[in-house]
Amino acid sequence: MSHEPVEPDLFTQINTALSDPDPLHLLSFVSSLLTVVDPRGRNPFARADETPDGPTREELTAMFIDVPTPETTALLSVVAELANDDDLLHARIRRELATRPAAGPQWLTRLAETSAYRAVRMAHVLGDGDNIIIGVHLAGDHEITLVAYVDHNLGQLVKDAFVVPEPIADIVAQYQLIADEPDVVWEDLSLADARVWVEEAIAVGAITFPPIETESWPACRPLIEWIARGLPAGGVGYQPPQWDSNELSRLTDRFFASQWGRSLDDADHRDLLESLLWYGTDYGPGDPLRWSGVQVEILFMDWLPRKIDAPAEYLAEAPELLGAFVRFAHKESGVRADLTDQTLAAIDYYAPEYQKVIRSPRPQGPAALLDALGAGGGFDEPYWYQEMELESLARQVGGEEQLDQLNAVPLADEPFDWSGIPDDVAPRVAEVLELVDRCCDTLLDVEYRTVARRVLARIASAGPAVFRRKSRTDTAAAAVVWIAGKANGQCELAAGPFAFDLPISRGISISRAVRRNARRSCCGREASRGNPTT
């Protein structure tokens, strides 16, 4: 069987990776190659003529076997391990490597000795998701750490993951420094438990369509799966809270007997609360006593309008009822008042759009499922969530006119605007500006730097008192860069509410090796449409 020749550019990339003392360069490169040929990345609904078959993992391996060079030997050495879930392929590569001289550094020739030695779970009291952090030893005193964010609101799947060439102790220390708040929960996991957490979340993500993609995920999936396969078996993964009907009935009675629910105690509100508790127990984290802003968004913008087939007048009571129940539930479960306020603010934020949605033509109940599968017939009205999305985007960028003016032309480099900034805070602003520019130059780009400069200028001119307080300059700079990213969908809660600025903080104060890789944790939702907003 003949195979396409290996491209010369591939050799250049392999040699570049081999010359890097950091093993992660080559490991990540091969992981990306294997991701490209992974059948899990194909669209299950696409016609055969729309997605021509690419090479399989076996065919890719055969190409490397057909070209016996040091570069392909290095590739095969990594593929043999990252694809060791296939005994036949693994044995075939090993037979080929036995006929070739060894190529590459010590860590590569001893890749099979790689072992994980520690696992940590980083969680949040509201339960949106968990960072599973695993430390790994490579031969030759190299260490890497993998971080997988398991999102419970999307069905316990890996929403983002990345690998950095740093010891797990350093990564955990950085997270603890950044997330120094009482709502973050730390737990050492057994390696067996970590394996189940990661493998189950990867499996759910692999059958989710459309797939979630970030800068580093699923490109690092083969690498993470290889590490996970080497962990002990027999562990326990995510265990959502279990609520039976009797417990939910007692919870309902307690709420309507409380100061928050007493005035709402009637048949309709009890029936509607049953639906809210259905969502709270069977979807997302599964704990009806803890509600986050993300859960509120999903509930109001998707689940209730789509799942519950009921008149708008009935559904319209949900925001008031949920607000009262959140106050009760968070009091009962001991959630801090600040977090409760954030959730209540999310209810207020999404309620107006929710009220529009429930009064708009849309598929509901079984019809919504058929519509999602493309089998719904005769629904001629504009799809309701498209209008909702446009309204949301318009609000984010300052109005419909601004939204219409957005385009794909990058923002140009702009000097910092010092007008309106008081002289007494100018030195402090200059210090923050220097760190902001350094971070953007290292991790981001000129367009992002322009946005960050605009944000800093507006803050300094409109609220100079912020710069008269005693606070760390690097923290202020990280906040500015994060605000610029947050406004443009670059720093969403992909790694949980406690890891949004890990790469930004590192860009300001941490080693270059980590900076080069850690920005991946910031990638969450799709980038904003058009130009960045300021």
Residues in the chain, pLDDT under 70: 1-8, 45-53, 362-399, 471, 486-534
The answer to whether residues 94 and 52 belong to one domain is yes
pLDDT value at position 522? 32
The answer to whether residues 195 and 99 belong to one domain is no
pLDDT value at position 147? 95
Question: Quick check: is 379 in a domain?
Answer: no
Last residue of a domain, one of 338, 359, 380: 359
DSSP 230-250: TSPS-----------HHHHHH
The answer to whether residues 204 and 291 belong to one domain is no
> Strand 184-189 relative to strand 115-124: parallel, antiparallel, unpaired?
antiparallel
For the four alpha carbons of 459, 462, 463 and 465, in that order, the dihedral sign comes to positive
pLDDT value at position 352? 92
The answer to whether residues 279 and 338 belong to one domain is yes
Question: Quick check: is 437 in a domain?
Answer: yes
Over residues 244-303, the pLDDT tens digits come to 999 999 999 999 999 999 999 999 999 999 999 999 999 989 999 999 999 999 999 989
Provide the number of structural domains found in the chain: 4
Question: Quick check: is 371 in a domain?
Answer: no
The answer to whether residues 443 and 351 belong to one domain is no
pLDDT value at position 181? 78
pLDDT value at position 285? 92
**Tokens at 413, concatenated:** 């480099």
The answer to whether residues 120 and 69 belong to one domain is no
Q: Are 410 and 447 in contact (CB under 8 A)?
A: yes
Last residue of a domain, one of 55, 86, 111: 111
The answer to whether residues 291 and 351 belong to one domain is yes
**Tokens at 282, concatenated:** 């069977």
Question: Quick check: is 179 in a domain?
Answer: yes
pLDDT value at position 47? 65
Buried b (16+ CB within 10 A) or exposed e, 214-241: bebbbbbbbbbbbbbebbeeebebbeee
pLDDT value at position 508? 43
Three-state DSSP class for residue 301? helix
pLDDT value at position 224? 97
The answer to whether residues 249 and 213 belong to one domain is no
| Contact residues for 387 (Cβ-Cβ < 8 A; gap 6+) | 360
What global pTM score does this model have?
0.71
Parent domain of 141: 114-229
Q: Are 113 and 90 in contact (CB under 8 A)?
A: no
Amino acid in position 219: A
Last residue of a domain, one of 339, 359, 379: 359
The answer to whether residues 440 and 492 belong to one domain is yes
Three-state DSSP class for residue 187? strand
Question: Quick check: is 384 in a domain?
Answer: no
The answer to whether residues 224 and 253 belong to one domain is no
3-state secondary structure labels for all residues of 364-413? CCHHHHHHHCCCCCCCCCCCHHHHHHHHHHHHHHCCHHHHHHCCCCCCCC
The answer to whether residues 255 and 349 belong to one domain is yes
Burial class (CB in 10 A: 0-12, 13-18, 19+), 338: exposed
Q: What's the rounded Cα separation, in Å, for the pair 226 and 221? A: 8
Q: What's the rounded Cα separation, in Å, for the pair 432 and 426? A: 10
pLDDT value at position 533? 41
